Amino acid sequence: MTVTHTNLILASASPRRRELLGLAGIAFDIVVSPVEEPAPDTGEHPAAYAARMARRKAAAVARQHPEAVVLGADSVVAVGETILGKPKDAGDALRMLTLLSGRTHQVVTGCALFAPGREPAIFTVSTDVTMLEISQARLAAYVATGEPMDKAGAYAIQGGAAAFVATICGSYTNVVGLPLAEAVEILRTYGAITPANH
């Protein structure tokens, strides 16, 4: 079991991030960040956008809970410099999945850690994901399940889209929504936790 030395808050509504952080045996509370997620600025790099959103989310919760250590995260799916957010509707989801079919894309998660008396730690992790060529009928059937609707890039690698993914290069947990190894390491570096095997 990991020992948590401080009041740690995960500034995210994502059940996937909650599950991942829980896998590390870390005790934490959840406070959903109140900030909106504006569209990327024109020409904004996917990593820069993910880092900016993570910082906005964590900063808002850190202002509400100045005594706590706050971890925020934001994941985006990118094809080259094109950022795919959450689909607006089923047609948008199908468009995104068609774009991803048969090619390699990046999942980039920005993480922001705010701790009392410390400069915020902001970092990004990128994973390459290669999808098989998937027929329109299979993609449409997946969209019809409703699963893609609240997911960046319109898919969940830990869900029904698992069968679409040929290879990943990099962190699997990053594709799910939180680069767990890197997040645990920054929490350890900041003295927020002590892993049980240390």
Of 176, 151, 190, the residue nearest 19 (C-alpha)? 176
Q: What sign has the CA pseudo-torsion 138, 109, 90, 81?
A: negative
The DSSP bridge partners found for residue 124 are 110
Please list the active-site residues: 74
Q: Are 143 and 93 in contact (CB under 8 A)?
A: yes
Burial class of residue 80 (count of CB atoms within 10 Å of its CB; 0-12, 13-18, 19+): exposed
Residue 68: count of CB within 10 angstroms of its CB: 21
Instruction: Output phi, psi for 170, to 5 deg.
Output: 125, -160
Q: Are 42 and 83 in contact (CB under 8 A)?
A: no
H or E element: which one contains 105? strand 104-114
